[in-house]
Amino acid sequence: MNAWMYVCMKLLKSKIILLFVLLILLSACDENPPIPDDKFMELYVDLLIIQDTTATANFSIDSVKTLVLDRYDVSNEQYDSMIKFYNSNPEKWTTFFDSATAYVERLRLEAENQP
């Protein structure tokens, strides 16, 4: 192997390593959730409410989930990705559930105030 080929191989190897490191860094920096937090919170609460209120009906959980996801124009992959996003940092769940609890309370008050 001549010197020229040796230099080319070294440059190629270093560029591949650099590209690999950049890809890892870019994927690690992706902190944006696939669904806005408020939209996901409402979707999640609606999903829980529908599952609880239709528990005795002849609906499958998958069909209920599909119905709610369609209502919010969210794919199953986006939903699963959002769950993984929150699972990556458990403290995010605390904030999420605080918001969800406040949202459920607002829904309850609105229902009580309707004639």
| pLDDT tens-digit series, residues 76-95 | 999 999 999 999 888 999 99
Is 114's pLDDT higher than 70? Answer: yes
Closest by Cα among 46, 64, 62 to 54: 64
pLDDT score for 89: 87
User: Which residue stretches of the chain are H helix?
Assistant: 3-28, 37-53, 61-71, 76-87, 90-112
Domain extents in the chain: 1-30, 33-112
Is 50's pLDDT higher than 70? Answer: yes
pLDDT score for 79: 94
Is 98's pLDDT higher than 90? Answer: yes
